[in-house]
Amino acid sequence: MEQKMEQKMEQKMEQKMEQKVEQKVEQKMEQKMEQKMEQKMEQKMEQKLSKSQMADEEMSTMYYRALGKLVLHGRRKKSEPHAGILHNILRVEMSVYD
Neighbours of 89 (CB within 10 A): 19
Q: What are the helix (H) ranges across the chain?
A: 2-47, 51-72, 82-97
Q: CA 89, CA 82: separation in Å to the nearest integer?
A: 11
Residue range 12-35, pLDDT digits in tens: 999 999 999 999 999 999 999 999
pTM over 0.85: no
Residue range 52-91, pLDDT digits in tens: 677 777 777 777 777 666 666 555 555 555 556 666 776 7
* pLDDT at res. 70: 61
User: Largest alpha-carbon pair distance within the chain?
Assistant: 103
Residue range 2-11, pLDDT digits in tens: 888 999 999 9
